[in-house]
Chains A and B, each alone.
Chain A
Amino acid sequence: MRALRRAWLRGWTFITRRSGDQRLREEVEQHLALETEANIRAGMTPAQALRTARMKFGPVEAIRESYHSEEGLPAMETILQNCIFAMRMMRKSPAFTAVAALTLALGIGATSAVFSLIQGVLLTPPPYDKPDQLVLVSAVRTDKQKMDSARGWAAQQWMDWGKDATSLQGVAGYGWTFNFLVRNDGSQSMQGMEVSKDYSRLMGLKTAAGRGFEDSDFAPGPVKAIVLGYEFWQRAFAGDPQIIGKTIRISRWDTPPTVIGIMEPGVRFLPSPGAAKEPNYDVNAPVDLWVPIYPDPKNLKDPGWNVVARLRDGVSLQKGQQELAVLTARGALSEKTFEGFQPQLQTVKDEMNQDGQRILLPLLGAAALVLLIACGNVAALLLVRGLQRQQEYAIRIAMGMGRLALVRLILTESLLLAILGGALGIGLAFGAVTLFKMIAIHAVPRLDSVHAGSAVLVWGLVAAVLAAFFAGIFPALRVLRLDPMEVLKSAGPKGTAGVGERRLLRAVAMLQTSLTLALLVGAGLLIRTMAKIAVVPSGYSTGQILTMSVTDVQNGSTWSSFHHHALERVAAIPGVQYAAFAWGVPLTGNNWPATIEIEGQPPAVKESDKTALPMRAVTPDYFKLMGMAQMNGREFRSTDDDKAPKVAIVNHAFADRFFPHDSAIGRKLWFDGRDKLGITIVGEISDGRTDDLTQKASSEVYLPLWQANAFSKHLVIRTTADPRAIVVAVERELRAVDPTAAIENVRTLEQIRDDSLASRTFAMRLLVGFAAVGSLLTLVGIYGVLSLSVVSRRKELAIRCAVGAQHSDLRKLILGEGFRVIAGGVLLGAALAVALSQVLKSFLYEVQPSDPATLIAVGLLFLAVGLLACWVPAWRAEKVDPLEALRCD
Chain B
Amino acid sequence: MSQKTDVKQGTLALMVLKTLEVLGSLHGYGIARRIEQISGDLLSVNQGTLYPLLLKLEQEGSIDSDWGASENNRRARYYRLTKAGRRHLQSELRDWQQTTEIMARFLSARSEELS
Given A2-B61, A5-B60, A26-B75, do A67 and B28 touch, yes or no (CB 8 Å)?
A: no
**Within the assembled complex, what's the spacing in Å between the Cα atoms of A5 and B48?**
23
Is B52 positioned at the interface, with any CB of A under 8 Å from its CB? yes
Residues of A contacting B5 in the complex (Cβ-Cβ under 8 angstroms): none
Pick the contact of A30: B27, B33, B53, B56 (CB < 8 A): B27
Q: Scan A748-774; emit 1 where CB is below 8 A from any B CB, else 0.
A: 000000000000000000000000000
Check if A27 sits within 8 Å of B51, measured CB to CB. yes
Given A66-B49, A67-B52, do A9 and B59 touch, yes or no (CB 8 Å)?
A: yes
Check if A63 sits within 8 Å of B56, measured CB to CB. no
Check if A24 sits within 8 Å of B51, measured CB to CB. yes
Is A23 positioned at the interface, with any CB of B under 8 Å from its CB? yes
Is B18 positioned at the interface, with any CB of A under 8 Å from its CB? no
Residues of A contacting B33 in the complex (Cβ-Cβ under 8 angstroms): 38
B62: shortest Cβ distance to chain A, in Å? 7
**Within the assembled complex, what's the spacing in Å between the Cα atoms of A2 and B88?**
9
Is B76 positioned at the interface, with any CB of A under 8 Å from its CB? yes
Is A711 positioned at the interface, with any CB of B under 8 Å from its CB? no
Given A30-B29, A30-B74, A30-B75, do A6 and B56 touch, yes or no (CB 8 Å)?
A: yes
**Within the assembled complex, what's the spacing in Å between the Cα atoms of A58 and B52?**
14
Check if A20 sits within 8 Å of B55, measured CB to CB. yes
Check if A5 sits within 8 Å of B59, measured CB to CB. yes
Residues of A contacting B99 in the complex (Cβ-Cβ under 8 angstroms): none
Q: Scan A302-328; emit 1 where CB is below 8 A from any B CB, else 0.
A: 000000000000000000000000000
Contact residues of A between 1 and 52, Cβ < 8 Å to B: 2-3, 5-6, 9-10, 20, 23-24, 26-28, 30-31, 33-35, 37-38
Check if A30 sits within 8 Å of B48, measured CB to CB. no
**Within the assembled complex, what's the spacing in Å between the Cα atoms of A10 and B56?**
10
Per the CB 8 Å criterion, the residue count for chain B at the interface is 27
Residues of A contacting B75 in the complex (Cβ-Cβ under 8 angstroms): 26, 30
Q: Scan B23-47; emit 1 where CB is below 8 A from any A CB, else 0.
A: 0000111101100000000000011
Is B86 positioned at the interface, with any CB of A under 8 Å from its CB? no
Q: B27, B59, B61, B84: which has the most chain A beta carbons within 10 Å?
A: B59
Closest to A3 in B: B60
Closest to A7 in B: B59
Check if A33 sits within 8 Å of B72, measured CB to CB. yes
Closest to A30 in B: B76
**Within the assembled complex, what's the spacing in Å between the Cα atoms of A34 and B28?**
10
Check if B48 sits within 8 Å of A23, measured CB to CB. no
Check if B46 sits within 8 Å of A58, measured CB to CB. yes
Pick the contact of B29: A10, A31, A58 (CB < 8 A): A31
Check if B60 sits within 8 Å of A2, measured CB to CB. yes
Given A30-B76, A34-B70, A67-B55, do A2 and B62 touch, yes or no (CB 8 Å)?
A: yes
Residues of B contacting A63 in the complex (Cβ-Cβ under 8 angstroms): 47-48, 51-52
**Within the assembled complex, what's the spacing in Å between the Cα atoms of A3 and B55?**
13
Q: Scan A50-76; emit 1 where CB is below 8 A from any B CB, else 0.
A: 000000011100110011011100000
Q: A3, A62, A70: which has the most chain B beta carbons within 10 Å?
A: A70
Closest to A57 in B: B47
Residues of B contacting A66 in the complex (Cβ-Cβ under 8 angstroms): 48-49, 52
Pick the contact of B48: A6, A20, A38, A62 (CB < 8 A): A62
Closest to B60 in A: A2
**Within the assembled complex, what's the spacing in Å between the Cα atoms of A69 and B59?**
13
Check if A37 sits within 8 Å of B55, measured CB to CB. no
Contact residues of B between 76 and 99, Cβ < 8 Å to A: 76-77, 84, 88
Check if A58 sits within 8 Å of B60, measured CB to CB. no
**Within the assembled complex, what's the spacing in Å between the Cα atoms of A37 and B61?**
32
Pick the contact of B59: A10, A28, A58 (CB < 8 A): A10
Residues of B contacting A27 in the complex (Cβ-Cβ under 8 angstroms): 27-28, 51, 76-77
**Within the assembled complex, what's the spacing in Å between the Cα atoms of A24 and B58?**
14
Given A30-B28, A58-B47, A62-B48, do A23 and B61 touch, yes or no (CB 8 Å)?
A: no
Residues of B contacting A70 in the complex (Cβ-Cβ under 8 angstroms): 52-53, 55-56, 59
Residues of A contacting B32 in the complex (Cβ-Cβ under 8 angstroms): 31
Residues of B contacting A57 in the complex (Cβ-Cβ under 8 angstroms): 47
Residues of A contacting B53 in the complex (Cβ-Cβ under 8 angstroms): 70
Check if B29 sits within 8 Å of A34, measured CB to CB. yes
Residues of A contacting B27 in the complex (Cβ-Cβ under 8 angstroms): 27, 30-31, 34
Check if B77 sits within 8 Å of A23, measured CB to CB. yes
Check if B29 sits within 8 Å of A35, measured CB to CB. yes
Check if A30 sits within 8 Å of B47, measured CB to CB. no
**Within the assembled complex, what's the spacing in Å between the Cα atoms of A752 and B86?**
89
Residues of B contacting A30 in the complex (Cβ-Cβ under 8 angstroms): 27-29, 70, 74-77
Given A5-B61, A71-B55, do A33 and B74 touch, yes or no (CB 8 Å)?
A: yes
Residues of B within 8 A of A (CB): 27-30, 32-33, 46-49, 51-53, 55-56, 59-62, 70, 72, 74-77, 84, 88
Name 6 interchain pairs, CB-CB below 8 A, sorted by A. Answer: A28-B51, A30-B28, A30-B29, A35-B29, A67-B51, A70-B55
A27-B76, A70-B59 known; 11 other A-B pairs, CB under 8 Å?
A2-B88, A6-B59, A28-B51, A30-B28, A31-B28, A34-B70, A37-B72, A58-B47, A59-B48, A62-B48, A69-B52
Residues of A within 8 A of B (CB): 2-3, 5-6, 9-10, 20, 23-24, 26-28, 30-31, 33-35, 37-38, 57-59, 62-63, 66-67, 69-71
The 9 closest A-B pairs by CB, nearest first: A2-B60, A70-B52, A34-B29, A6-B59, A31-B29, A9-B59, A63-B48, A30-B76, A67-B52
